[in-house]
Amino acid sequence: MNILLINHHAGSLQHGMEYRPYYLARAWIALGHRVRIVAADHSHVRRENPCLNKRSRLDQQIDGIEYTWLNTPGYTGNGPARIQNMLIFLFRLHYFSTALARSFRPDVVIASSTYPLDIWPAYRIARHAGARLLFELHDLWPLSPIELGGYSRWHPFIQVLQAAENFACRNCDAIVSMLPNVRGHLEAHGMAPHKLHIIPNGTDAAEWRDAPAPLSETVANTFCQLQKAGFLLVGFAGAHGLANALDTLLDAARLLSEVPVRFVLAGSGPEKSRLQARVRDERLNSVIFIDAVAKKQIPSLLRAFDVAYIGLQRQPLFRFGISPNKLIDYMMAGCPVLQAIEAGNDPVGEARCGLTVAAEDPEAVAAGIRTLLAMPPAQRKAMGRNGTRFVLENLTYDVLGKRFLHACVSQRQRNVSSVSSLAPNNSSTSIGSSHE
């Protein structure tokens, strides 16, 4: 089967995030299918963008995956330049749609960009090729810019986004979502119940089986000295942005000043310098910042933590569910997890791999840390093993790739029973959104 996946932000191990299209494509290729990913050459989420040298299109192979990069202008932030980047990507995708349909001859076309506007050129390609059409929902647009960005429902751009979502709900053969609680929303916009398949984020188990790359000598020595001094490590790894509620963790650190614990914040992001200044000003001596580590070093970093912290700001959109990639990494590393998130699902509770407390509540976070650190080490390790086992059984891309293929070829499924928020027991189960 030939699978054409359109994702504006798709990356690879070479380019960095977004990784999900890459890992799904590798899983499909391992099962004997041919995959082409179509993406914009410029995306703010990538570590490195491909170089097209003013060409409008570049075709290349990466790890057996066929990539088509379309030339788009650079941008920063979420203003008009980003919208221009989207529109030019869509224009080029429309321009090349007939050629893609004829040369690649897809059996399945997947519209998978964060925003839904790629559904129209994807529909055109599918019609030309006689292919099935899927829509993969990462985040809810236009609901996200309405609820998070304060846009009016009557803003012209919002109206176009809503038209695209409605078109996808009514015209796709199937809809794949990472959000476990979207059924009501999508049905309200025209989706037939049998079309929904919920397939979460996942991980490549092979990357965890191999011996992990060691941490830098400086970081490794720091951890070793802290552990010899009797300190337990509560760690966070990821983007230092407002969404991750790291001020709440610093507030909890202040409340735990008498506890033999050190808080390790690993990563980079727009809020890092401000958080570092706050730690200096408030003399929060229990907090340590380290630079972001390479992807291959993540297992070594996370396995040094006694407890891994994940938090998010309170947002009404989380009623549809969450699926942070970093949580899956924590679970694969065998870390007991403290989750400070209020959402429509509770992945930590589902996997029995830690504790869940209220979001943006320093007292609750501090109490959760006290509870976890007071446990015998064997009990914390058992929680960590629960998380690893859950991911290996349910959330590897080998498993998820097969479930996605089922959505590609399945006929009218009418299983609309209520589903687990995390465990993919059938084609309508799993965990939610794509937050980092």
Whole-number pLDDT of residue 367: 98
Whole-number pLDDT of residue 124: 97
Q: Is the dihedral of CA 132, 136, 137, 142 positive or negative?
A: negative
Q: For residues 330 and 170, what is the distance between their CA atoms, to the nearest angstrom?
A: 38
pLDDT tens digits along 95-123: 999 999 999 999 999 999 999 999 999 99
CA distances from 169 to 173, 186, 416 (A): 9, 7, 16
104-107: long-range pairs with CB below 8 Å, 24+? 104/2, 104/4, 104/36, 104/66, 104/129, 105/2, 105/129, 106/2, 106/3, 106/4, 106/36, 106/131, 107/1, 107/2, 107/3, 107/131, 107/132
Which domains are present in the chain? Answer: 2-172 (3.40.50.2000), 206-394 (3.40.50.2000)
Taking 90 as the threshold, does the pLDDT of residue 16 lie above it?
no
Yes or no: say if 195 and 172 are a contact pair by the CB < 8 Å rule: yes
How many helices and strands, by DSSP H and E, does the chain display? 17, 14
Give the percent of the chain with pLDDT over 90.
87
Whole-number pLDDT of residue 417: 34
pTM: 0.89
Taking 50 as the threshold, does the pLDDT of residue 213 lie above it?
yes
The whole-number average pLDDT for the span 39-66 is 95
Whole-number pLDDT of residue 434: 42
Whole-number pLDDT of residue 137: 96
Q: Give the 3-state secondary structure percentages of the chain, helix then strand then coil, rounded to 5.
A: 45, 15, 40
Q: How confident is the model at residue 78 (pLDDT cuts 50, 70, 90)?
A: confident
Distance of CA 356 to the CA centre of its chain: 20
317 Ramachandran zone, left/alpha/beta (phi>0; psi -120 to 50): alpha
Whole-number pLDDT of residue 424: 41
Whole-number pLDDT of residue 357: 98
Q: For residues 251 and 29, what is the distance between their CA atoms, to the nearest angstrom?
A: 47
Whole-number pLDDT of residue 54: 87
Q: For residues 308 and 264, what is the distance between their CA atoms, to the nearest angstrom?
A: 9
Taking 80 as the threshold, does the pLDDT of residue 414 lie above it?
no
Whole-number pLDDT of residue 433: 38
Structure token digits, residue 217: 């000598």
Taking 80 as the threshold, does the pLDDT of residue 428 lie above it?
no
Q: Which of 33-37, 154-158, 416-420 has the lowest mean pLDDT?
A: 416-420
Whole-number pLDDT of residue 422: 40
Mean pLDDT for all residues in the chain: 92
Yes or no: say if 166 and 189 are a contact pair by the CB < 8 Å rule: yes
